[in-house]
Amino acid sequence: MDASDSHDSTPSAKNNGRTSLLDSGEDFEVLDEDNIDDDLPPLEDAGGGKEKNTLESKKTSSDTDSDPPGQIDEWLDVLGNDQLKKKIIQAGKGRDGRPQKGQNVRIQLKTFLMDGTLVEEQSDLSFTLGDGDVIQALDLTVQLMEMEEKALIQTDAKYAYGARGSLEPEVPPNAKLSLEVELLEATDAPDLELLPPAEKIVLASHKRERGNAHYQRGDYAFAVNSYSIALQITESSSKVDISAEEENELMDVKVKCLNNMAASQLKLDHYDAALKSCVSALAHQPDNIKALFRMGKVLALQGEYTEAIQTLRKALKLEPSNKTIHAELSKLVKKHSEQRGAEQAMYKKMLGNPTSTSSSSTQKHQTKSSWGLSWKWLFGATAVAIGGVALSVVIAARN
């Protein structure tokens, strides 16, 4: 869609030291799809960026920290924490021309390290204001600019590329940045109901990719926001004709967003929300292995071991060779077995070890029975002996 995606999302997604969703122990690994749809994800389609800037890799500007020529304003502390500051270097056309959240804006952008090294230059960068399509420093400051205004922005790493930095543009970890920005245009966002299906698919995919970039950077709340925007686009009604193929493409984007959203919600420990996302994905694609896998994990974390095992077995049946599902299922079955053993031991303790009591009673009964048999045998033997003596006396008398 816009150039902003290749500018900001791709670099973050490929940063050094970053573990992809597939690489992490708790995400899906074996699935091999063209657009790895997401998490187990490999938060999919996170790649694709533009060619590295061929301008001098170390072009220095004359002291970015010093006031640039034409300064007409003092520094504005945007957030009140001295970590994001803005200074006007060329006045705009008045406050009435300030862009609003939700509008599409075009800017010219130069990005410098604080030592003056130019790391990126874009003459026509477009993005939706407030949607998280670009780094926070731009999202927060451009809405304070007037049309045709030029400004200098200094930002802490927190509002730029953070502790992970970026490969494209090449930004080191924890790097503060200086940005030169000119606001060129602000237009209303298109009416989704009138947007051609092909453009709607591109727009939703773009928002999803921004979510992937946020996820891989560890900004899970921002990732959820981007996926939510993408879902709104896929679910919007349409007043234009749409083909069955386009409907399927939109549905595919929607399911990928739901899967990735569940991954982000899991990272935030929002288990109920993650379960809801999985259920929604499976409502559209009942045999979606990633949704089944993640749903099994959510259920296990909620202590629903029986349902979790059933869900993972269904996923394994669909893809028997998947080692990740095998490992997760084995771990869960073992944990469930241990839990059941602990519960049985607890019940025995609560009931006073009924098994031992029953065994003792049975033993006593058997002992009593054996004594009864002994006395009966003795009595019978004595009677027979006495009867024999009496019979002998009678016979002798007769003789």
Domain segments of the chain as ranges: 53-189, 193-347
DSSP letters spanning 223-288: HHHHHHHHHHHHHS--SS---HHHHHHHHHHHHHHHHHHHHHHHHTT-HHHHHHHHHHHHHH-TT-
User: Which H helix or E strand runs over 53?
Assistant: none
The angle at the Cα of 263, spanning 37 to 330, to the nearest 5 degrees, equals: 95
Classify residue 324 as exposed, middle or buried by CB count within 10 Å of its CB (0-12, 13-18, 19+): buried
| C-alpha to C-alpha distance for 251 and 234, rounded to whole angstroms | 7
Mean of pLDDT values over 328-350: 75
Note the pLDDT of residue 351: 72
User: Which residue, among 130, 129, 140, 134, has the nearest Cα to 76 in the 3D structure?
Assistant: 140
Cα separation of 378 and 152, whole Å?
A: 115
Percentage of the chain surpassing pLDDT 70? 67
Average pLDDT over residues 17-24: 37
User: In this structure, what DSSP letter does residue 109 have?
Assistant: E
Position 94 pLDDT exceeds 50 = yes
Per-residue pLDDT at 350 exceeds 60: yes
Domain 53-189 part of CATH 3.10.50.40? yes
Please indicate whether residue 373 or residue 274 has the higher confidence score (pLDDT): 274
125: its two tokens: 């960068």
Query: What is residue 337's predicted lDDT score, i.e. its pLDDT?
Result: 78
Local confidence band at 32 (pLDDT 50, 70, 90 cut-offs): very low
**Residue 334 pLDDT grade (very low, low, confident, very high; cuts 50, 70, 90):** confident
Longest dimension (CA), the chain: 157
Please give the Cα distance from 107 to 187 (Å, whole number).
12
User: In the structure, what pLDDT confidence band is assigned to residue 390 with cuts at 50, 70 and 90?
Assistant: low
Q: What is the pLDDT of residue 107?
A: 97
Residue 253: per-residue pLDDT: 96
Residue 372 pLDDT level (bands cut at 50, 70, 90): low
Q: pLDDT at position 221, please? A: 94
DSSP state of 27: S
The residues pairing with 128 across neighbouring beta strands, listed in sequence order, are 104
> Is residue 387 pLDDT above 50, yes or no?
yes
Buried b (16+ CB within 10 A) or exposed e, 73-102: eeeeebeeeebbbbbbbeebeeeeebbeee
Average pLDDT of the residues in 381-398: 54
Give the full edge-to-edge strand order of the sheet including 104-113.
Answer: 76-77, 84-90, 150-155, 177-187, 104-113, 118-128
- C-alpha span between 338 and 150 (Å, rounded): 65
> Is residue 166 pLDDT above 70, yes or no?
yes
Question: Quick check: 151 and 91 in contact, CB under 8 A?
Answer: no
Threshold 0.75, pTM exceeds:
no
pLDDT at 126: 95
Task: Give dist(CA 348, CA 342) in Å, integer.
Answer: 10
pLDDT tens-place string over residues 105-122:
999 999 999 999 999 999
The answer to whether residue 179 scores a pLDDT higher than 60 is yes
Burial label for 62, CB within 10 Å (0-12, 13-18, 19+), is exposed
pLDDT the model gives residue 26:
41
d(CA 375, CA 59): 113
Higher pLDDT, 73 or 321: 321
CATH topology of domain 193-347: 1.25.40
C-alpha–C-alpha distance, residues 271 and 288, integer Å: 19
